[in-house]
Structure 1
Amino acid sequence: MEELIEYILQFGNLNKQQIDLIKSKATEIEVRKDEYLSEAGKIPKQVGFVLEGIFRFCYYNNKGQEITDYLIDENHFVTDYQNFEAGMPASQYLQAITDSRVLIFSKKDWDELLNTIIGWDKIVIKIVQKCLVEKIERRSPLVSEDATTRYLSFIQKFPTLANRVPLSYIASYLGITQQSLSRIRKNIR
């Protein structure tokens, strides 16, 4: 719980009563490896904060291939926030790659925080902006770099993930085949 509060306080000030209210609305759950926190075609019902574990956003392309779009690890929010807020069905799956522990806020509780805590909306906007910037910074180089450079960038940006995420997901995230990734890893050792 303290990880969540520390994270939030980077984006604005809260008093003890506000922090206590946030804590009272968070519910810790366990999400087993391969389970979904939200699914494509369904309206996301919660905002999560990862205490332990790794998640991925994934979808199926028009050829039926599963594509890993984004990875999220500890001490980050995990949700399809745009569709959560709009009450619209998600276009991607949000899947646990490892057994995970997550603090969850239901839509009702999240809205109560927005309506009760003065300035909470500004904190949320800053968090969402930070998440979007991180996503762009992580994805942009993948378009212009060769496969080896993409992998080296990945292990530099995500040093703890390379050994915790299956190679097939890393390859998909990098936009290369698993065989290419295995060859790249062999050549750089």
Structure 2
Amino acid sequence: MEKLIDYLLQFGNLNQQQIDLIISKVRQVHLPKDKYFSEAGKVAKEIGFVSDGILRICYYNKKGDEITKYFVSENRFVVDLDSYNAKIPASQYIQAVLDCKILTISYNDMQELSLTIINWDDIINKITTKALVDKVNIISPMVSEDASKKYLSFLEKFPQLVNRIPLSHIASYLGITQSSLSRIRKNI
């Protein structure tokens, strides 16, 4: 719980009464490896804060291939934002790569926090903006790189993840086959 509060405090001030209210709304969930936090076709009803573990956001393309869009590790929020905000079915999956501990807040509790804590919406907007900017800064440069450079970029940007994520997920994220990734790793 402390990690969540410390993270929120990076984006705005909260007094002890506000912190206690937030804590009262948070529920800790254990999500076993390979289980879904959010599934395509279902409406996202809660937002999560990863206190331990790694999740991946993925979808299936028209060919039925599983594509990993990105990873969410500790001390980050996770949600299918379109589904959550618009109350529409999600188009992607959020899956545990490892056993995860996630602190969740329901949509209704988030609305109550918004009505009760004066600067709550400002804090959430700053967090959302930072997450989107981080995502663009990580993904955009990798789009035009060849497979070896993509992997080296991945190693540089996610050194704490590389030995914790299965190669198949890393290959999917990089848009290459697992055998290509194995060859690249041997040559590095």
TM-score, normalised via structure 2 length: 0.98
Unaligned stretches of 5+ in structure 2? none
- Alpha-carbon distance in structure 1 between the residues aligned to 2:136 and 2:66: 21
Matched, 1:133 2:133: yes
| Secondary structure of 2:89 counterpart | coil
CA shift at 1:88, angstroms? 1.1
- Alpha-carbon distance in structure 1 between the residues aligned to 2:142 and 2:95: 22
Counterpart position of 2:37: 37
Q: How does 1:97-112 map to 2 (within 5 A)?
A: 97-112=97-112
- Alpha-carbon distance in structure 2 between the residues aligned to 1:142 and 1:12: 32
Counterpart position of 2:47: 47
User: For residues 85-137 of structure 1, what are the alpha-carbon distances to aligned partners after superposition, in whole Å with 9 as ceiling and x for unaligned?
Assistant: 21111100000000010000011111111111101001100000011011111
Counterpart position of 2:148: 148
- Identical pairs, percent: 61
Q: How does 1:12-31 map to 2 (within 5 A)?
A: 12-31=12-31
Counterpart position of 1:85: 85
The count of aligned residue pairs is 188
Specify the code of the residue in structure 2 equivalent to 1:178: Q
TM-score, normalised via structure 1 length: 0.98
Unaligned stretches of 5+ in structure 1? none
Over the aligned positions, Cα root-mean-square deviation in angstroms equals 0.7
- Alpha-carbon distance in structure 1 between the residues aligned to 2:85 and 2:117: 17
Counterpart position of 2:69: 69
Specify the code of the residue in structure 2 equivalent to 1:157: K
- Alpha-carbon distance in structure 2 between the residues aligned to 1:66 and 1:2: 35
Off by >3 Å, runs of 4+ in structure 1: none
- Alpha-carbon distance in structure 2 between the residues aligned to 1:87 and 1:95: 20
Specify the code of the residue in structure 1 equivalent to 2:141: P
Specify the code of the residue in structure 1 equivalent to 2:185: R
| Secondary structure of 1:103 counterpart | strand
User: For residues 17-44 of structure 1, what are the alpha-carbon distances to aligned partners after superposition, in whole Å with 9 as ceiling and x for unaligned?
Assistant: 1111111100111000000001001100
CA shift at 1:82, angstroms? 2.6
